[in-house]
Amino acid sequence: MNSLEKMLSLLDVFTPAAPVWSTEDLIRYSACSRSTCYRYIKVLQGAGFVTPVAKGSYILGPRIIELDRHVRLCDPVYAAGGPPMRRLAARTGHSALLCVLFSDTVMCVREEIVADAPAGLFSRGQKRPLFSGAASKVILANLPAHQLRSLFAKHRKSIAAAGLGADWESFRKALRQIRQDAYCTSTGEFLPGIIGVAAPLFNGAGNVLGSLGIAMAASSVKRAELPALAKSVIKAAQDASAGIGSGEHGVDLPARAVG
C-alpha cells in the first residue's frame, strides 16, 4: 500500500466491537514508524474522520456523519430506491432492503423496516459475503463472465460451501438459472428462519449495481405465496433501476467488483 492507503486503512479498525483505539495500538496496527503514524492520525483528526477521547484514544469523527448525510441526500442509488422500497413494504407487509456491490462484498445502503420485522435484519452499513443470501446471489448472477471466472478461481471453496457449485460448469448453471428467474430466494443463510427474496438493480448501461429485496420470518409466509412476492420484488427493482439510470446525475458506470 502507498502512504495514503495506509492512512485510510486506519479507519478500518474502528468497529462496533472495537470502537476506541489508543495511539499506541494504532501505531502497532499500522506497522509504520511512530512519527509516520502520528502524522496520519493528525491528518485524519484535522479532517474530522477521527476524534480524540480520554487517555490518548480515538473514535470515529463527525465528518463521517456529515458524509453519510450527503449520501442520503444525493446518492442516485439511495434516492431512486426509496419510493419503490416504500411501495414494496406497504404492498407485501415485509421489510425492504437495498444493497450494492462493494468490492467482493455486498453492503446494505437502505432499509424500509416494517413494524413487526424480525430482529437482526441486514441494515445500512453492514456488509455480507458475495456468495450467500438472496441479496448477494442475485448480484453475483448478473456479473460479467470474466469477473465470475476470476471470482471462482479465488473463492472456489466458499462458492461450493454456498451451494453454488463445486466446479465451473455447475457454478455457471446455478447463476444462469437465477438470471433466467430474474430473482433469487434464500432461507436461513444469515439468520435462522429468515427468508430473503431479491432482484437485481442495474445502472443506465445495464451493468448490475446491487439488489433490492424483502426479508421476512419464514413463519409469516407460505411457500405458495413466494412467486407473487417475487413479482412484486422484481417490479420494485425495475422501478429503482429506471430511476438510477435517469436524470442528469444517473449512474452509468459499473460497480466495483473483485475480478
Q: Which residues contact 180 (CB under 8 A, 6 or more apart)?
A: none
> Is residue 98 domain-shared with residue 137, that is, in the same domain?
yes
> Is residue 56 domain-shared with residue 100, that is, in the same domain?
no
Question: Does the residue 229 lie in any domain?
Answer: yes
> Is residue 167 domain-shared with residue 223, that is, in the same domain?
yes
> Is residue 36 domain-shared with residue 100, that is, in the same domain?
no
- Domain total in the chain: 2
Please write the tens of the pLDDT for every residue from 77-101.
999 999 999 999 999 999 999 999 9
Residue 29 pLDDT > 90, yes or no?
A: yes
Q: DSSP labels for 209-244? A: EEEEEEEEEGGGS-GGGHHHHHHHHHHHHHHHHHHH
> Is residue 112 domain-shared with residue 168, that is, in the same domain?
yes
Distance set, CA 86 to CA 57, 74, 126, 139 (Å): 41, 18, 20, 21
Cα–Cα distance for residue pair 232/88, rounded to 1 Å: 7
Please write the tens of the pLDDT for every residue from 175-226.
999 999 999 999 999 899 999 999 999 998 899 999 999 999 999 999 999 9
- Bridge-based pairing of strands 194-202 and 208-217 is antiparallel
Strand-pairing partners, residue 225, are: none
> Is residue 123 domain-shared with residue 7, that is, in the same domain?
no
Question: Does the residue 97 lie in any domain?
Answer: yes
Last residue within a domain, chosen from 66, 86, 113: 66
Q: Which pLDDT band holds residue 259 (cuts at 50, 70, 90)? A: very low
> Is residue 85 domain-shared with residue 61, that is, in the same domain?
no
Residue 117 pLDDT > 50, yes or no?
A: yes
The pTM for the full model equals 0.89
For the chain, percent of residues with pLDDT exceeding 90:
85
**CATH number of the domain enclosing 220:** 3.30.450.40
> Is residue 59 domain-shared with residue 100, that is, in the same domain?
no
